[in-house]
């Protein structure tokens, strides 16, 4: 038995503003039907989700070391001791090497301190980013999209007109794509919060020749001379 369009409209009223209103697609299907589906209440506001503050920690370190390969091995071993892992690595022989390390956020501070002990620190930057509001916003919109998808599925089961079925299926596919994208963003945020990122650059320390040591000694003497005069 075909479900009259005005009954479909009554069933869908108040369900789906978040999904259908954001993307109005032209083409076949019943505009009146999709318009009725597009009325949604914003039940899942950001205030419904209150996780603890979510911080993403990142550090960038540049070290001068005597042997790049040995320092790299020690850096990896150090991170593994903190239950971390290597995400990306590159090198230029024994001249320099770079590695992106991930460590549990709870061990971030200790891991950075341990890595700094592998050589002479020439550059250091540590920063934390609060992503709590971003997470809350995506999570709230995701819940609205899931509610929208579920109502569309219910509506699809009751629709008998071919145009209505095609229109609902098109919208359902779009909403599911949005859900998958939002779910992926939340997963990425959770991973970034759980595991801090450390970008480590290793460079072979400069070895001074005889002339270099002479100049360095002269400079040291000049510095001391002026200090004594002051």
Structure pTM? Answer: 0.64
Determine the average pLDDT of the residues in 146-174: 92
Give the confidence band of 148 by pLDDT, cuts at 50, 70, 90: very high
Each residue's pLDDT tens digit, 62-106: 999 999 999 999 999 999 999 999 999 998 888 999 999 999 999
Give the confidence band of 205 by pLDDT, cuts at 50, 70, 90: confident
R_g of the chain, CA atoms, integer Å? 30
Q: pLDDT at residue 109 above 90? A: yes
Orientation angle between helical segments 132-158 and 5-12, nearest 10 degrees: 160
The confidence score (pLDDT) of residue 50 equals 42
Q: How far apart are CA 230 and CA 225, in angstroms?
A: 9
The confidence score (pLDDT) of residue 225 equals 61
Give the confidence band of 27 by pLDDT, cuts at 50, 70, 90: very low
The confidence score (pLDDT) of residue 28 equals 44
Nearest to residue 121, comparing CAs of 67, 70, 60, 73?
Answer: 60
Determine the average pLDDT of the residues in 30-34: 49
List, in order, residues 6 or more apart from 132 with CB less than 8 Å away. Answer: 51, 52, 53, 54
The confidence score (pLDDT) of residue 198 equals 97
Q: How far apart are the first and last CA of the chain?
A: 102
Q: pLDDT at residue 111 above 70? A: yes
The confidence score (pLDDT) of residue 24 equals 40
């Amino acid at each position: 038995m075909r479900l009259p369009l005005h009954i479909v409209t009554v069933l869908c009223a108040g369900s789906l503003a978040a999904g259908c209103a954001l993307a109005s697609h032209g083409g076949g299907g019943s505009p009146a039907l999709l318009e009725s589906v597009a009325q949604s209440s914003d039940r899942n506001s950001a205030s419904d989700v209150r996780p603890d503050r979510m911080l993403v920690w990142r550090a960038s370190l540049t070290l001068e070391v005597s042997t790049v390969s040995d320092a790299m091995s020690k850096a990896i071993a150090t991170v593994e001791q903190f239950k971390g892992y290597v995400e990306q690595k590159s090198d230029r022989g024994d001249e320099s090497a770079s590695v992106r390390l991930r460590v549990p956020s709870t061990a971030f501070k200790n891991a950075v301190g341990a890595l700094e002990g592998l050589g002479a620190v020439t550059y250091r930057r540590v920063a934390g980013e609060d992503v709590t509001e971003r997470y809350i916003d995506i999570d709230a919109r995701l819940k609205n999209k899931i509610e929208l998808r579920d109502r569309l599925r219910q509506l699809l089961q009751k629709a008998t007109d071919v145009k209505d079925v095609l229109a609902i299926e098109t919208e359902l596919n779009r909403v599911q794509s949005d859900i998958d994208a939002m779910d992926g963003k939340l997963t990425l945020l959770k991973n970034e919060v759980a595991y801090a990122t450390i970008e480590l650059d290793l460079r072979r320390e400069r070895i001074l020749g005889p002339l270099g040591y002479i100049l360095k000694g002269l400079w040291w003497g000049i510095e001391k001379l002026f200090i004594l005069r002051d």
